[in-house]
Structure 1
Amino acid sequence: MPLDAWISLVVVTAVFPLMAFTRLGSDMVLMGALVVLLTLGVVDPSQALGGFSSTGLFTVAFMYVLVTAIRETGGIDLIIRHVLGRPSGEARVMSRLLLPVASLSGFLNNTPVVATYIPAVLSWSRRIGVPAHRLLMPLSFASILGGTITLFGTSTNLVVHGLLVERDPTLAMGLFDIAWVGVPVAIVGLIYLILVGPALLPARRGAAEVFENPREFTIEMEVDPSGPLVDRTVEKAGLRHLQQLFLVEIEREGNIVSVVGPGERLKGGDRLVFAGTSEGAVELQQVRGLIPSRQGESSLEKDFTERRLVEAVVSNQCQFIGQRIRDGHFRTLYGASVLAVCRGGERVPGNLGQVRLQPADVLLLEARPPFIERHRQSRDFLLISQVNGAARPVHEKAWLAWSILVGVVVLAAVGVMSIMNAAMLGAALAVVSGCCTVGAAKRGLDTQVLLTIAASFGLGAALDSSGAAAVLASGVLGLAGSNPWVLLVAVYVLVTLLTSVVTNNAAAVITFPIVMASADSLGVNPMPFVVAVMFAASASFLTPIGYQTNLMVHGPGGYHFVDFLRVGGLLNLLTAVVALALIPLVWPF
């Protein structure tokens, strides 16, 4: 095997554990690997940067703009309002929730669909008396199943199809071609989720239940009007660096001072809200000039225009992962104070400032109103929703945004335009018509996903051009023999396992050249194996880290890692059996 092939194999092999077991972003890991291959001369600049000119990449980018337009106009909220209702019986509840989600996910990116549904489902679950943990995981899984119905369903479908067309334009697929397999897979999966899945989930407390009583994690004191703290700054009063708690807000004469700075001067009668441990109350008793609050109602239960209570789910890309909240200067960077941390359905006990953040932690934050819009698209948080906040009003252009999306689907489905051209035209119309601003369109682009896709193309090119893909293919054929059925199952299992620990786009794009080389060596039609890659990459049911929507529901639902194995394991098996049985019938070997 040539030296370039060995280098490619070593670099690609190193990529997967780095993405799975480190806090480095998948985009940074893959871009770093690409730089190594480029520096060592394994790929030339045109191969390394080829992913940035891929039709699949641009189609994904344009689809993000269309999704942004629907979100900005309240289009998904419109569906939620008209669909959820008040059904009776858990099966009807699940049907009313999952069927629309799966349908929407066939044409929209899963993440904004799930992000919009989660706050609505939490409120809806209380209204209809169904625990939220029985709804949130099925919500995520239904969105994944819906993504298998069309080429628009997931970025992975679009990217793999882009690779296929670049390799052989005659193999181009129609928008609904994979529906012959995707619809049966989705139907079987949804039936399982409606009738069986929720019963496999043990009782769990979600973040909403943990955070429902502010008195459990806050301590309130008042500044004695005749005491020594009057007119002192927070810093000089010794309230800035308390050991067991920290000052969150000051209620003063019917107004609120949120995210208190060290230079804020205290006034007599100020009501101070501290977050931390109950043991911290002892520490506060030692501060001369503070007296217990004489008001019965908790300050956090009052509504102030200057303050928002929000729940934020920590992303696995958050820069504070592994750091203590106090050491990371969380309040300074985000302009928000952490009131409590929920992990695995339980509030993290002890000194709040000493808590080290982990992916999927749910934070109860107090912040100023601009925080929500400023960080809604932040890579540090997967979900930001206002606690007990009203749903966003439906904008009058929601129907226009939906019409643009329908037009894109029709143009691509009937072959008037290519999928990329239709998506590009739709994105332009969304901006020109005012469904979303240029700024919102830019913020809607998930740069991490786009960089991951582009860099994955470079790694795939390295495997292909260096001969490593052919060598790996011969090894796979040695195990599979000359039986295409065995090869098909092996491809599906390999990609499924990879997508459980790394991003589905990276798993699909890097394995694509190996799969094509294997099909060529066997002398059979490559289409069954390409479609198997699409479906296997979407089968992200086994772990919370396998797909972004799983991580989004992990904290709010109070799930444990084993819950995903319990419910997702059988779902993975069912969808694999259906997909592997149907793929060769639609695309014969």
Structure 2
Amino acid sequence: MVLFGVPTGALVVFGLIGVALTLFVTELIPNDVTAIGIMVALVALEPWTGVGTRGAISGFANTATVTIVAMYMLSAGIGRTGLVQRLGVRLARFARGSETRALAATIGTTGPIAGFVNNTPVVAVFIPMITDLAKEAGVSPSKLLLPLSYAAILGGTLTLIGTSTNLLASEFAATLLDRGPIGMFEFTALGTVVLAVGLAYLMTVGRWLTPARIPADADLIEEFGLEGYLTALRVPEDSPVVGLGLDELDDRTESPVTPLQLRRNGESFLATETDQRLQVGDVLVVSGEREAVNRFRTRQRLTDAPTEVTEETFTAVDSGDGLGRAVVPEGSAFVGETLTESRLATFHGLQVLAIRRGGELIRAGLREVTLAPGDLLLVQTTPEAVDYFADGDDLFVLEEDTLDRIWSDGENGAREPSAREPVPLSPKTPVAVGIMAAVVGLAALDILPIVIAALGGVFAMVVTGCLSSADAYDAVSWNVVFLLAGVIPLGLAMEATGGAALIAEVLVGTASVLPLVAVLLLFSVVTGLLANVITPVATVVLMIPVAVDAAAQLDANGFAFLLVVTFASATSFMTPVGYQTNLMVYGPGDYRFTDFLRVGAPLQLLLAVVTTLGIVRLWGL
């Protein structure tokens, strides 16, 4: 059946795509849940979509999906070697004291690593290092964190395993074109050019456009604007709180006041960790709005303590306790939960003092705040909590004062590199690196398909003890896996109903007024805009069938059109939600949404031109 010249099946699929895009953009429900809904809808509407049960769940058996799962596990194995942390230490030593060297070392190191290791843990490790490095150099951390994310994105264009979009494109190349999968280093030459141009931009124009949102000399209390929210109170003899435990005191606080720390005779005790009972003369550090604290002080008959609350107030050298920052990533189990429901303080000893969400600072009523992806939390940390969250993807806890473990005080108070290496390497490091090299080599030489080589690498990592099976499963971002599995059959439906051919026909119409190379550039620009809104994975699935159909109608090189969509999808710079690493630096850099647009839009347009010309030069039209 045809309606308005369009097959009914194509109209139904376009309707599903419209609903999916709306949900992706608004995030009324998580993207992976939207993807599951897509699979169900495709089967329910099978008479029109042409996608049955097997087709709807085929994304789970897709080689790209399986390869991505394996690469998450392999990256976790490399991450546990300590190599990335050691590299960060060397970077800090090289760049100390110079903004130019700090920027060059940051982006020059992150980019190449991201071609072989999942860039999310790389950026998570580098954020606290770069933040401390910026403060040592007297530079705003905001000047380095956005380039850190962009460099990680650029590095993904170097190899087939650099991003999930590359792996998906390889699968499409094998199924839609008369050729096999993309080779491990088949587009590395173009990726190297893209990386070089991108890094040059970040060192020049990007450096000028990147804002300095956080003052270079701000400590965490100042950075989160907590000067008026933290108060030290002394316990006098007539106070009714004498003899109470801090948990009992917390239960008695009718006002939104949170006990944070007990200080006694030079010692400090975290409220979430101690069973000490309050004594006369104790100093209690609490968090809350001034009016609420005043009411609390009056009711409990406390007095003001002559103690200024600073970042050092929360630092305990012996125990390793202190203040830190934590980023809530996409897919975290805490997303959608309030702080009370998350039990971060009760179960993990992490007391949240403030939340930065984009340009908004939340410092009161924290217990009922619902956590969202990209939230930056100011927390009281313990070494146990840091170690616990280091093994998962629910919370990226960023330790502060990293450089204090790298440099020591030398003569005349000068800071000098410490002779002691603060990041020990795992005894399994040579084995893990050898396994990763074998995976890359076997795939590059076409001895094994990339999916089999990657799965073999996971097997080797586990049996050699480089990675436990539990850690391997924990390393996978399952929300990404379900997103992939859900949108892949949507691409099949577009092909089966002729929807891809219809969209391609519209874009092909521009060839009557534009040269072929300009049509290729148009695909790059349109794809890049979509990727910044609906995620790169969904974009590459929707746009590659359209691009291949357009190439067929234009009698052009289908692989060239496929590659331009692949590179445009993999380089999303214009929004904080376009790529997970952008979301990770959003809070720590105190960026505004418009910062990504101002710095990322020129870079995206520049790379669209570079990529288009590079593809024409290397593969032709």
How far off its partner does 1:137 sit?
0.7
1:313 partner amino acid: V
Unmatched tracts of structure 1, length 5 or more: none
Task: Indicate the residue corresponding to 1:558 in structure 2.
Answer: 590
**Candidates 486, 489, 494, aligned match of 1:463:** 494
How far off its partner does 1:49 sit?
1.1
1:403-442 Cα deviation digits (max 9, x unpaired):
3222222222222222222222222222222222212111
- Asked if residue 3 in structure 1 is aligned to residue 8 in structure 2, the reply is yes
- Asked if residue 278 in structure 1 is aligned to residue 286 in structure 2, the reply is no
Task: Indicate the residue corresponding to 1:522 in structure 2.
Answer: 554
How far off its partner does 1:377 sit?
6.2
Specify whether residues 251 and 432 from structure 1 end up closer, same or farther in structure 2 by C-alpha distance, changes over 3 A only.
farther
How far off its partner does 1:215 sit?
5.8
How far off its partner does 1:193 sit?
0.7
CA separation in 2, counterparts of 1:205 and 1:38?
A: 50
How far off its partner does 1:179 sit?
1.6
- Partner of 1:309, secondary structure, is strand
Task: Indicate the residue corresponding to 2:269 in structure 1.
Answer: 256
- Asked if residue 342 in structure 1 is aligned to residue 351 in structure 2, the reply is no
How far off its partner does 1:234 sit?
5.5
Unmatched tracts of structure 2, length 5 or more: 1-5, 406-421
- Partner of 1:209, secondary structure, is coil
Task: Indicate the residue corresponding to 1:543 in structure 2.
Answer: 575
What is the correspondence of 1:14-33 to structure 2 with a 5 Å cutoff?
A: 14-33=19-38
How far off its partner does 1:526 sit?
0.9
What is the correspondence of 1:401-440 to structure 2 with a 5 Å cutoff?
A: 401-440=432-471
2:82 partner amino acid: G
Task: Indicate the residue corresponding to 2:485 in structure 1.
Answer: 454
Residues 491 and 532 of structure 1 are in contact (CA less than 8 Å); yes or no, is this contact kept in structure 2?
A: yes
Task: Indicate the residue corresponding to 2:174 in structure 1.
Answer: 165
How far off its partner does 1:397 sit?
2.6
- Asked if residue 96 in structure 1 is aligned to residue 128 in structure 2, the reply is no
How far off its partner does 1:379 sit?
5.6
Specify whether residues 100 and 567 from structure 1 end up closer, same or farther in structure 2 by C-alpha distance, changes over 3 A only.
same
Count of aligned positions: 587
How far off its partner does 1:310 sit?
2.8
CA separation in 1, counterparts of 2:165 and 2:484?
A: 9
1:139 partner amino acid: L
How far off its partner does 1:583 sit?
0.7
What is the correspondence of 1:85-484 to structure 2 with a 5 Å cutoff?
A: 85-87=93-95, 89-168=98-177, 170-205=179-214, 209=218, 211-212=220-221, 217-232=229-244, 240-251=252-263, 254=267, 256-259=269-272, 266-293=278-305, 299-303=313-317, 305=319, 307=321, 309-315=323-329, 331=345, 335-343=349-357, 347-348=361-362, 352=366, 359-376=373-390, 381=395, 383-388=396-401, 390=405, 392-481=423-512, 484=516
CA separation in 1, counterparts of 2:118 and 2:72?
A: 7
1:79 partner amino acid: L
CA separation in 2, counterparts of 1:205 and 1:588?
A: 46
**Candidates 555, 569, 574, aligned match of 2:606:** 574
How far off its partner does 1:199 sit?
1.5
Which segment is superposed worse, 391-400 or 132-141? 391-400
1:535 partner amino acid: F
How far off its partner does 1:78 sit?
2.0
CA separation in 2, counterparts of 1:297 and 1:12?
A: 53
Which segment is superposed worse, 41-50 or 252-261? 252-261
- Asked if residue 513 in structure 1 is aligned to residue 545 in structure 2, the reply is yes
How far off its partner does 1:378 sit?
5.7
1:291 partner amino acid: T
Which segment is superposed worse, 572-581 or 329-338? 329-338
- Partner of 1:311, secondary structure, is strand
Specify whether residues 458 and 370 from structure 1 end up closer, same or farther in structure 2 by C-alpha distance, changes over 3 A only.
farther
CA separation in 1, counterparts of 2:607 and 2:320?
A: 49
CA separation in 2, counterparts of 1:327 and 1:58?
A: 33
Residues 206 and 558 of structure 1 are in contact (CA less than 8 Å); yes or no, is this contact kept in structure 2?
A: no
How far off its partner does 1:201 sit?
2.2
CA separation in 1, counterparts of 2:478 and 2:109?
A: 28
Residues 315 and 360 of structure 1 are in contact (CA less than 8 Å); yes or no, is this contact kept in structure 2?
A: yes
- Partner of 1:449, secondary structure, is helix
How far off its partner does 1:447 sit?
0.7
CA separation in 1, counterparts of 2:251 and 2:446?
A: 67
CA separation in 2, counterparts of 1:370 and 1:426?
A: 30
Task: Indicate the residue corresponding to 1:61 in structure 2.
Answer: 69
Which segment is superposed worse, 126-135 or 503-512? 126-135
Which segment is superposed worse, 405-414 or 437-446? 405-414
1:363 partner amino acid: L
Residues 232 and 307 of structure 2 are in contact (CA less than 8 Å); yes or no, is this contact kept in structure 1?
A: no
2:68 partner amino acid: V
CA separation in 2, counterparts of 1:349 and 1:110?
A: 31
Residues 141 and 216 of structure 2 are in contact (CA less than 8 Å); yes or no, is this contact kept in structure 1?
A: no
How far off its partner does 1:516 sit?
2.1
CA separation in 1, counterparts of 2:393 and 2:22?
A: 21
Residues 51 and 453 of structure 1 are in contact (CA less than 8 Å); yes or no, is this contact kept in structure 2?
A: yes
Specify whether residues 73 and 308 from structure 1 end up closer, same or farther in structure 2 by C-alpha distance, changes over 3 A only.
farther
- Partner of 2:218, secondary structure, is helix
2:24 partner amino acid: M
**Candidates 70, 77, 86, aligned match of 1:78:** 86
How far off its partner does 1:521 sit?
2.8
Relative to the length of structure 1, the TM-score reads 0.90
Which segment is superposed worse, 24-33 or 166-175? 166-175
Residues 259 and 366 of structure 1 are in contact (CA less than 8 Å); yes or no, is this contact kept in structure 2?
A: no
Residues 232 and 309 of structure 2 are in contact (CA less than 8 Å); yes or no, is this contact kept in structure 1?
A: no
Residues 258 and 367 of structure 1 are in contact (CA less than 8 Å); yes or no, is this contact kept in structure 2?
A: no
1:129-184 Cα deviation digits (max 9, x unpaired):
33221111111111111111111111110121122223446243221111221111
Specify whether residues 236 and 550 from structure 1 end up closer, same or farther in structure 2 by C-alpha distance, changes over 3 A only.
closer
How far off its partner does 1:320 sit?
6.8
**Candidates 511, 517, 523, aligned match of 1:485:** 517
1:258-285 Cα deviation digits (max 9, x unpaired):
3279x98645444422112233331232
Residues 234 and 240 of structure 1 are in contact (CA less than 8 Å); yes or no, is this contact kept in structure 2?
A: no
Specify whether residues 211 and 191 from structure 1 end up closer, same or farther in structure 2 by C-alpha distance, changes over 3 A only.
same
Specify whether residues 237 and 434 from structure 1 end up closer, same or farther in structure 2 by C-alpha distance, changes over 3 A only.
closer
CA separation in 2, counterparts of 1:317 and 1:260?
A: 28
CA separation in 2, counterparts of 1:84 and 1:197?
A: 21
2:20 partner amino acid: V
